[in-house]
């Protein structure tokens, strides 16, 4: 069976993992679990983007050799991913010798589309990227993301001739051969593509020391984006190995800010290499805190560890997968988080506790998990509306709560114990069927629920699933 391949953006390792990164991982993990649930074999890549000036400077600030610094931070990201209950199959680090060698080979294979030229323009050191004069003027000379003035740079660079690929990229995106979700971002990007100039893909070594050298020109290192984008195929072994088992990717997941690199430069590289384009690009929104962009300068960054420590992993996944839209921005506040946790505890935690207690009292034994079709759910999952698919499951949970209240099996047990047992058995079977999909979002909780209600003897958990703090 061919594998389906899902990718996540590889974060820069100059800082700690944050909520934005968590979003990439949670969405990828949910998609992976869903595709496996549908019977597919899935490969999920994660990794770290370890080159470039920001990282080089940060290591120097901390008085660490750069490699040591990135080693420490790459480990932090791996630990972080595990702490989210996310399972990847491959982890790529851009400083690994295999990646660097493969990157150079990729460059060489693209050389028909690469030329050297002098460049002068506005550059953001935070983004490690040039901006157009229009962007510079619109932003009044300052990067809105990094709150730093753009600097004028002039240098010799290698360029990737985007013009060679523009028509192919446009038609692939327009026809959804490379499908961008959400569709408003597709429109946005197609507009941007019109004026997309050739991209500079190297930096003089005096400016950026920490990077992959350009083949045949030791005075230049590769621009961090070329090196970073290549990760999606170097991790599969390209060009040493035939990657057709996994490539093209089924879905590449990125934040909205980096969609343009993935919809522009990346397809250009792929076409230049004679490789097919990924089938889907999913751009998620940004997580804000109290309505504001997270920023160290503003001092409003909330560490994911603090949120995880509050009510555990299920509460974290529940909030960010149900109350954050898959494709739009979402806001985190502690109040919203508490409300979300209470909902989880009241709707699902109580249901499990109540139903298991009633089953125990009425000697109802564990049931089998029924596979049921849910076309509405599938439809939303396939459209990358994971939060709406999650809502559908939650409607099912609320329905079960209502049924218990209405059918009052505890009262029925006094007069018609057989009927009470039948009511409870139906409730258990229905809960297990919903839970089978709930597991995609809340794997740990789903496993616990399945264990409770499939056991020979149903018993409520010794500690409730979601204890009141």
Q: What residues make contact with ligand MSP under the rule CB under 6 A?
A: 9-12, 20-21, 23-24, 49, 228-229, 231, 254-255, 257-258, 286-287, 294
Alpha-helix runs per DSSP H in 195-303: 224-229, 231-234, 259-260, 266-273
Question: CA torsion, points 308, 309, 314, 320, in degrees to nearest 10?
Answer: -30
In whole angstroms, the minimum distance from the beta carbon of 144 to ligand MSP comes to 13
Is 38 annotated in the active site? no
- Name the catalytic one among 118, 134, 194, 296: 296
Burial class (CB in 10 A: 0-12, 13-18, 19+), 106: buried
Per-residue DSSP letter, 81 = H
Is 293 annotated in the active site? yes
- Name the catalytic one among 124, 284, 359, 380: 124
In whole angstroms, the minimum distance from the beta carbon of 10 to ligand MSP comes to 5
In whole angstroms, the minimum distance from the beta carbon of 414 to ligand MSP comes to 54
Residue appearing with tokens 């590449």: 252
Residue closer to ligand MSP, measured from CB, 21 or 437: 21
Closest-by-Cβ residue to ligand MSP is 255
Rounded to whole angstroms, what are the CA distances from 177 to 180, 233, 276, 277? 9, 19, 10, 8
Q: Assess contact for 288 and 328: CB atoms under 8 A.
A: no
Q: Which has the closest alpha carbon to 295: 75, 143, 139, 150?
A: 143
- Name the catalytic one among 76, 166, 293, 383: 293
Rounded to whole angstroms, what are the CA distances from 346 to 353, 401, 411? 10, 10, 22
Is 18 annotated in the active site? yes
Residue closer to ligand MSP, measured from CB, 301 or 365: 301
Residue closer to ligand MSP, measured from CB, 23 or 233: 23
Is 136 annotated in the active site? no
- Name the catalytic one among 18, 76, 205, 383: 18
Is 296 annotated in the active site? yes
Q: How many other C-beta atoms lie within 10 A of the C-beta of residue 399?
A: 11
Residue closer to ligand MSP, measured from CB, 62 or 154: 62
What's the CA gap between 47 and 455, in Å, rounded?
39
What's the CA gap between 369 and 430, in Å, rounded?
9
In whole angstroms, the minimum distance from the beta carbon of 361 to ligand MSP comes to 47
- Name the catalytic one among 41, 76, 127, 426: 127
Residue closer to ligand MSP, measured from CB, 23 or 420: 23
In whole angstroms, the minimum distance from the beta carbon of 270 to ligand MSP comes to 13
Is 21 annotated in the active site? yes
Catalytic residues: 18, 21, 124, 127, 143, 146, 293, 296
């Amino acid at each position: 069976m061919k594998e389906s391949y899902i990718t996540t953006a590889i974060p820069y390792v100059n800082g700690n993992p944050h909520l934005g990164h968590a979003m990439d991982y949670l969405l990828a993990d949910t998609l992976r679990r869903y595709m496996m649930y549908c019977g597919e074999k899935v490969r999920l890549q994660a990794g770290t983007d370890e080159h470039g000036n920001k990282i080089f400077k940060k290591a120097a600030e901390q008085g660490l050799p750069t490699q040591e610094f990135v080693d420490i931070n790459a480990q932090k990201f791996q630990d972080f991913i595990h702490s989210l209950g996310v399972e990847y199959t491959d982890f790529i680090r851009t400083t690994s010798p295999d990646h660097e060698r493969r990157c150079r080979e990729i460059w060489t294979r693209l050389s028909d589309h690469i030329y050297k030229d002098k460049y002068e323009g506005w550059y953001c050191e935070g983004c490690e990227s040039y901006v157009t004069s229009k962007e510079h003027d619109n932003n009044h000379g300052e990067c809105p993301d990094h709150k730093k003035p753009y600097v004028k740079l002039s240098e010799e660079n290698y360029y990737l001739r985007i013009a060679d690929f523009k028509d192919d990229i446009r038609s692939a995106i327009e026809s959804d051969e490379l499908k961008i979700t959400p569709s408003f971002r597709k429109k946005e990007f197609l507009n941007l593509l019109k004026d997309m100039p050739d991209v500079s893909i190297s930096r003089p070594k005096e400016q950026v020391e920490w990077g992959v050298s350009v083949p045949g020109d030791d005075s230049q290192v590769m621009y961090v984006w070329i090196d970073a984008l290549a990760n999606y195929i170097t991790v599969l072994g390209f060009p040493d190995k035939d990657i057709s088992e996994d490539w093209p990717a089924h879905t590449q997941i990125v934040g909205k800010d980096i969609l343009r690199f993935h919809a522009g430069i990346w397809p250009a590289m792929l076409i230049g290499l004679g490789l097919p384009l990924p089938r889907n690009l999913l751009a998620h929104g940004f997580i804000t805190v109290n309505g504001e962009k997270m920023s160290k300068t503003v001092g409003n960054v909330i560490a994911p560890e603090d949120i995880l420590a509050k009510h555990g992993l299920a509460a974290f996944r529940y909030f960010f997968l149900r109350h954050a839209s898959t494709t739009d921005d979402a806001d985190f506040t502690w109040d919203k988080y508490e409300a979300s946790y209470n909902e989880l505890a009241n709707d699902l935690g109580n249901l499990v506790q109540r139903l298991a207690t009633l089953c125990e009292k009425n000697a109802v034994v564990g049931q089998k998990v029924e596979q049921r079709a849910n076309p509405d759910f599938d439809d939303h999952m396939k459209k990358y509306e994971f939060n709406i698919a999650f809502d559908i499951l939650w409607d099912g949970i609320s329905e079960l709560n209502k049924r218990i209240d209405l059918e009052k099996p505890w009262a029925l047990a006094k007069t018609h114990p057989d009927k009470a047992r039948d009511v409870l058995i139906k409730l258990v079977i229905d809960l297990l069927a919903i839970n089978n999909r709930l597991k995609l979002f809340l794997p740990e909780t789903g496993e616990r629920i399945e264990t409770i209600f499939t056991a020979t003897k149903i018993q409520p958990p010794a500690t409730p699933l979601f204890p009141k703090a």
